[in-house]
Amino acid sequence: MPPSPDPRVDELREQLKALGYLDARVDRFVLGGGAKRGRGAALAAAASARLGALAGVLLGPAAAIGLRARVPGLVASGTDAIVLAAYLAIFFGLATMLVSGAAILVGAAIARRSAASPGFPRRARQVAAAAGLLVGLACLVYLSLWWHTATGAGSGSLAWTIAIVLIAVTISLLLGHGVLVTVLAFLARSGLARSLEPGLPLSSWRTTAPLAALSFAGAVALLVAAPGTRLEPAPATLTVVPTNQRVVVVGIDGIDVPTLDRLRRAGRLPQLDRLLAQGVGSLASDPDRDPARVWTTLATGQPPERHGVRSLEARRVPGLEGRLQPGASGWSAITAATDLLRLTRPTIASGETRLIPAFWEVAARAGLRTAVVHWWATWPAPDDSGIVISDRALLRLERGGPQDGEIAPASLYQALQAGWSDRRTRAASEGAAAIAAALPGDLSAAMRRSAELDATLIDLAADPLLGTPDLLVLYLPGLDIAQHALFESQSAGALSPSAAADRLAALEQYYVFLDQSLARFVDAGDRPARRSLGAGGPGEGGRSVILVTQPGRVEHAGAGMVALSGAVAATAQVSASATAVAPTILHALGVPVARDLASGPVLELFTGVFVDAHPLREVASFGARRSYARTGSGAPLDREMIERMRSLGYLR
Amino acid sequence: MTALPAFFAPYQDAINRALERVVPGEPASTNGGAPAVIDAMRYTLLAPSKRVRAVLVMLAADICGNDNRALPAACAVEAVHAASLMLDDLPSMDDAPLRRGRPSAHRQFGEAIAILAAFGLLNNAFGHLSREYDAVLATRLVTLLADAVGLDGLVAGQAEDVLATESMLSFETLERIHRRKTGVLFSASATAGALTAGGSERDIAVLTAYAKNLGLAFQVVDDLLDVTGSSEETGKVTRQDARKTTFVSFSGVEGARALAEELCRTACAALEPFGRRGAHLRELADFVASRRL
């Protein structure tokens, strides 16, 4: 309504609004349902429900935006956002209903205590105003803190912050006004109508405008004064200084270092012996040996608190494609309860919950050609990070059908599937040949499946379809699975010495099988490679192999390893942390290392010549991992992944 | 002069015919001065009138889906309104010589007969409701109209108006007087119509918001007509309120006109939940905003 030229009219307009005329839609909405029904309590209940509905509609979408910023991976699509907003609208609606209902009933009860006194009309207005202010203030504080935590102190633009605070003030005033109106309506319905003064307190512009200004200033002050949250710096531009090294990273899960050393000394693992003959960093055992968590730490160079993959098991919320990654210990009881109530269901950790780019994603962003095979939490495969054969790719290749982010680029899927049958046949043959120990039937089958799995993955990694990437990353889970079947499953209870010896022999055979399978990478490492990585690279290039084993296993503590072999590797034995693996790999490729990583590269693993030629270069940060939109939900493979993980001993 | 909306005529005809039955010309029993009282009742009740409140009852019922049962309630509202006019015009109150273009009832029949006729109309209104509706609905309608007449309605409003004639009123007091004298009966009319049609609580809330704004707009326009209209146009003596505080006192003529229009727009906006069904009520609000009689 444009301001009238006569200031008296504006004033009258405000007075009329205060008396319930003109635009009193909020009042009508809030009181409408309870206007004629029952006594005060019924009116309070109906009005609270309507205030809850109002709050749900207003706060649900806002909170969904905030939660999306706080929990990356939870919202994977527009549908997710809508469903999440609906959930939060219900949550905030119920919360507001309860808070408003309590404020209305308590406010009305306080006011009624002075019903017989001459000062009741004034007292009633004061109490109603106080109840409204209290609810409005609580709402404003919450919304301000939400904005603060959602964006980080000072990270939102000034314009956005002003807009959000204005919206927060409006919502808060609206809800506070609703409570105020309802308290007075409650009193009127309780037989005190004639004792009440007409009109509403705090409803003319003369009081509302200063109140809004004060609220705005308070909210801004709160934003400024509240403890800041750490901000993710913008990703730096990455410039590669060519090292002329193609790097192969082989991650072997489940290696038991004493067993490995014993077999090396016996001369049974010549390939692994060559990989471990130069620079070896010992990785201290992680106290929390969840494999998804540890392997993601190895891949990102950041601890779980930063990279976001806190456990193998995540939660799906019905209707949402994204995943919720419970972190704190207290979550287990909550998720158990929500699972029971079917509000959530378990799923496997995925790349959607990872907040930090893995080293292959950094390398791809720097312009290198990369390929990664079967590493933990690589599904869904982004389409801008080189070749990604994710940890769900094998399931998809086995089952066929349209893929849902299992392999990137998508065009590779058809090509791999065309040769899938032959590949499986070859792998089955290799697996059967690998295990010859006398084992019970089920154990023998488990061992063969493990060997077949590793053989398949190695075959995939060596497929010409992957080209000649500057960085090839391969994760092999077979040894860990075999070891679990042999010694950690239910059948491994009380073993006789001979049975134990048979199983140990089978395990040793598996080490030998792995050793032989890795020959193709080790042998190639000795040959000169093409001149690579752009102009300016001095001399002939080569291939470095970096072997990574997990520090600690699900069942046992134990040191891990990062071993560098090839022309650039020094002969050294050092201690390192799991977070040093990713920067070490990047440094070998000539990619600058982010200063905000938890560790720097293990330079002792490199020769002095290499270190002199390639001094450590740093950038501020790799930034956060961006989220990727998917077309599917991944749900069809979720159950199968869970069953597979359970059968492998990862899930209980 | 602004013409009434076309849809008014059939409603007015039906209401006028029904009002004839509320106060029949031939009483069941005659004694003493009763025929004079009946004549006075009919004189005011059946005088030419826009029947805005009665039509509002019918429209409220119609918008709630059924106006077949609304006519007795419309007649009762009109009877209450006529009674209030008779009392309002008395020498002890506004001492108005003209009403609806004719001498007011007390000028025509004498003060005593006018007072009795007003009470007769009130009782006829309540009796009519009790006879025409089932017990539950009749009770609700009688309670509704009794409240509208009573201590938070016409009686209270008229009392405060009489006592406040010589003093400058605050805006809140003026609003309270007009709400009780005019707004409450408008709201009761809308609610009564909805009740006869079985309207929901939500329907009633929406119609109450509509009627509240419309009632005040009606009164603001009344105040305006007292300043700007003529006796020929309004059917009553103008400049009657010169000594009284009115909405025009607070906002001036143009300001009052603007507020009346804004109130009517708000009344129309309140009808949004009814969609196109609210067309007649919107026309009624437009008419109130622009009326010259």
pLDDT in tens, A440-452: 767 788 888 889 9
How far apart are the C-alpha atoms of A344 and B73, rounded to whole Å? Answer: 57
Instruction: Supply the pLDDT for residue B236.
Output: 56
Residue A492 has pLDDT above 70, yes or no: no
Q: Is A231 contained in some domain?
A: no
Residues A259 and A175 reside in one and the same domain: no
Q: B263 and A16: CB-CB below 8 Å?
A: yes
Q: Are residues A258 and A173 in the same domain?
A: no
SS3 per residue for A49-112: HHHHHHHHHHHHHHHHHHHHHHCCCCCCCHHHHHHHHHHHHHHHHHHHHHHHHHHHHHHHHHHH
Question: What DSSP designation does B179 have?
Answer: I
Q: Of the ranges A170-184, A554-568, B33-47, B177-191, which one carries the lowest mean pLDDT score?
A: A554-568
Tell me the per-residue pLDDT of A571-582, one tens digit each, with 9 for 90 and over: 989 999 999 999
CA atoms of A122 and A37, how far apart (whole Å): 26
Q: Is the residue at A505 inside a domain?
A: yes
Indicate if A268 and A152 belong to the same structural domain.
no
Write out chain A residues lying below 8 Å of B171, CB-based: 12, 15
Contact B175 A16 (CB under 8 A): yes
Name chain B contacts of A22, Cβ cutoff 8 Å: 213, 262-263, 266
Q: How many CB atoms lie within 10 A of CB B15?
A: 23
Nearest CA in chain A to B262: A22
pLDDT given for residue A154 in this prediction: 45
The residue range of the domain holding A363 is 246-309+355-647
Residue A390 Cα, gap to closest chain B Cα (Å): 54
CA distance A493 to A498: 14
B chain contacts of residue A37, beta-carbon cutoff 8 Å: 201
Are A412 and A463 contained in the same domain?
yes
Does A212 share its domain with A275?
no
Other CB atoms within 10 A of residue B200 CB = 12
Q: Is A488 exposed, middle or buried (0-12, 13-18, 19+ CB in 10 A)?
A: middle
Tell me: the pLDDT tens digits for B28-75?
Answer: 455 555 788 999 999 999 998 889 999 999 999 999 988 789 999 999
Q: How close is the nearest chain B Cα to the Cα of A197, in Å?
A: 10
CB A190 within 8 A of CB A135: no
Chain centroid, CA A87 distance in Å: 19
Mutation for A interface: B152, B175, B247, most A CBs within 10 A? B175
Region A146-163: mean pLDDT is: 62
Token readout for A208 is 């509302």
pLDDT at A524 over 60: no
For the ranges A65-74, A101-110, B13-22, B125-134, the lowest mean pLDDT is seen at A65-74
CA-based nearest distance B216→chain A, Å:
9
Contact between A421 and A431 (Cβ < 8 Å): no
pLDDT (mean) for A477-506:
78
Least confident segment among A408-422, A519-533, B125-139: A519-533
C-alpha–C-alpha distance, residues A625 and A623, integer Å: 7
Q: Structure pTM?
A: 0.54
Chain A residues touching B252 at Cβ < 8 A: 6, 8
Provide the residue type at A582 as one letter: A
The model's confidence at residue A3, banded by pLDDT at 50, 70 and 90, is very low
Kindly list the residues of chain A whose beta carbon comes within 8 Å of any beta carbon in chain B.
Answer: 1, 4, 6, 8-9, 12-13, 15-16, 19-25, 28, 31-33, 35-37, 193-194, 198-199
Are A212 and A319 found together in one domain? no
Statement to judge: residues A145 and A106 lie in one domain: yes
Predicted confidence (pLDDT) per residue in B248-279, tens digit? 888 888 888 888 888 898 889 888 888 888 89
In degrees, rounded to 5, the angle at the alpha carbon of residue B152 between the alpha carbons of residues B150 and B153 is 60
User: For position B106, what pLDDT does the model report?
Assistant: 93
Count: domains in chain A: 3
Tokens linked to B53 = 């409140």
| Same domain (yes/no): A460, A557 | yes
**Gap from B6 CA to chain A (nearest CA, Å):** 27
Q: Is the pLDDT of residue A528 over 50?
A: no
Q: Is residue A240 part of a domain?
A: no
Clarify whether residues A397 and A273 are in a common domain: yes
Please name the residue of chain B whose CA is at the shortest distance from the CA of residue A199. B172
pLDDT of residue A519: 86
Check which CATH number belongs to the domain holding A454 and give it.
Answer: 3.40.720.10
- pLDDT exceeds 80 at position A476: yes
Average pLDDT, chain A: 78
Residue among A17, A21, A37 with most chain B CBs within 10 A, to mutate: A21
Average pLDDT over residues A597-611: 92
Task: Specify if A292 maps to a domain.
Answer: yes
Average pLDDT over residues A352-374: 90
pLDDT at A527: 45
Reported confidence tier of residue A404, pLDDT bands at 50, 70, 90 = confident
Nearest to B77 by CA among B178, B180, B188: B188
Once rounded to an integer, what is the mean pLDDT over residues B180-187?
92
Model confidence pLDDT, tens digit, residues A77-130? 777 778 888 888 888 889 888 888 888 888 888 888 887 788 888 888 888 889
Locate the chain B residue with the closest alpha carbon to A23. B266
Q: For residue A530, is it within any domain?
A: yes
User: Residues of A with CB below 8 A from B208's CB?
Assistant: 35
Which of A4, A11, A12 to mutate against chain B (most B CBs within 10 Å)? A12
pLDDT score for A70: 60
- Best A8, A9, A189, A197 residue to mutate vs chain B (most B CBs within 10 Å): A9
- Residues A303 and A321 occupy one common structural domain: no
pLDDT of residue B5: 87
Could you read off the pLDDT of A277-294 as tens digits, one per residue? 899 998 887 666 678 888
For domain B8-290, say whether CATH 3.20.20.70 is its number. Answer: no
Last residue of a domain, one of A225, A256, A276: A225
In this structure, the answer to whether residues A45 and A189 fall within a common structural domain is yes
What share of chain B in percent tops pLDDT 90?
Answer: 49
A458, part of any domain: yes
Residue A238 lies in a domain: no
**Where do the H-state alpha helices sit in A318-440?**
331-340, 359-365, 393-399, 411-418, 420-434
CB pairs under 8 A between A and B: 74
Same domain, A372 and A265: yes
Calculate how close chain B gets to A19, using CA atoms only, in Å: 8
